[in-house]
Amino acid sequence: MAAAKHIVMVVICLVTLFPILWILAQSLKGYFDTIAIPPKIVFTPVLDNFVQVLERRGFLQALTDSLLVAAGSSLLGLTLGTPCGYALARVRFRGSESVGFLLLITRMVSPIVIIIPLNRLFAVMGLIDSHIGLIVAHTFINIGIVVWMMRAYFRDIPESLEAAARIDGWSTVGAFWRIALPSAAPGLAATTIFCFLFSWNEFMFALTLTSRSVRTSPVFIAGEFVGYLAVEWGLLSAAGMLIVLPMLIFVVAIQRNLIRGLTMGAVK
């Protein structure tokens, strides 16, 4: 009985992993193997695609742009959202439920809802096609997660330490900064990875708010390898692998918190 369960589970895992294994296989094929009909399952692995993709104009720049935007928006989101999450965890104030709901909405709506006015607004402010503009847009995507996740983490920390600090004459801000924040370090780390992942993979804002000077990797890969007559499958796969691999490591690293974040803290 136990063996049967494991056999079914292994099959499920293989089906789940198949697309990832296939893009890995394609990325390691020589040019003629990638376009072979029928597709080759057994082949001699080569690194040509990876070498070519790294030399391709724009690819390293796209990775750099993605890195800058993801790091920038994670930092901005955490700076703005962590204190808010703390307040929501510790105090019930007038309008606290509305703040929570508003933040939930930002996670639920599609960017399409604000993308046209935001585009116009950014154009007026000179933020179109800039790192700053995309960082702001991605912070909008992440701020709800930051607040709700940090609220959940702060709730797990006993209030007594902060209460003691306040009896010693520390201010609320001091107690937050020196007691609560360090205790929530694991939560901060998980939330940072979370924000980074979402920004790294984000497509719609990147597609509309940036074009020439800034091009993140999803936009790059979606446009670069599809020619008029053919798709460069090998190069595409190698680029895809390089973009996805760090995120796969992140996802495994924050497994439990991933579901917590995606459900806005509703599931531990």
Partner 1 sequence: MKMKAEKGAVLIFVLPTLVFLLLVFIYPLFYGVYLSLHSTAAGLRALSFVGLRNYVSVLSSSLFWLGVRNTIVYTVGTVGLTVGFGLAIAVLLNRIRTGVWVYRALLILPLGVSPVVTGMTWQMMFDPLAGIVNHLLTLVGLPTSLWHTGFETAMLSVIIIESWQWIPFPLFIIYAGLQMLPHEPFEAATIDGATIIQQIRYITLPLIAPVLGLATTLRFIGAFRSFDILYVVTKGGPGRATDTLILQAFQESFSFYRFEYGLVVGKIMLLITLGVSVLLVSRVTRGVGTGE
d(CA 55, CA 175): 51
Is residue 7 a contact point for partner 1 (CB under 8 A)?
Answer: no
Is residue 143 a contact point for partner 1 (CB under 8 A)?
Answer: yes
Residue 178: partners with Cβ closer than 8 Å, 6 or more residues away: 165, 170
Is residue 212 a contact point for partner 1 (CB under 8 A)?
Answer: no
d(CA 97, CA 107): 16
Smallest distance, partner 1 to C-beta of residue 185, A: 19
With CA atoms as reference, report the closest residue to 72 among 248, 263, 214, 243: 214
Binding segment for partner 1 among 46-54, 56-64, 84-92, 183-191 (CB under 8 A)? Answer: 84-92
Task: Assign 196 to helix, strand or coil.
Answer: helix
- Give the number of other Cβ atoms within 10 Å of residue 25's Cβ: 18
- Select the residue interacting with partner 1 from 44, 91, 212, 229 (CB under 8 A): 91
- Select the residue interacting with partner 1 from 145, 218, 235, 257 (CB under 8 A): 218
- DSSP result, 211-234: -SS---HHHHHHHHSB-SS-B-HH
- Select the residue interacting with partner 1 from 136, 157, 195, 238 (CB under 8 A): 136
Residues 219-258 touching partner 1, rule: CB under 8 A, are 221-222, 231, 233, 236-237, 240, 243-244, 247-248, 250-252, 255, 258
Residues 151-190 touching partner 1, rule: CB under 8 A, are 155, 166, 171-173, 176
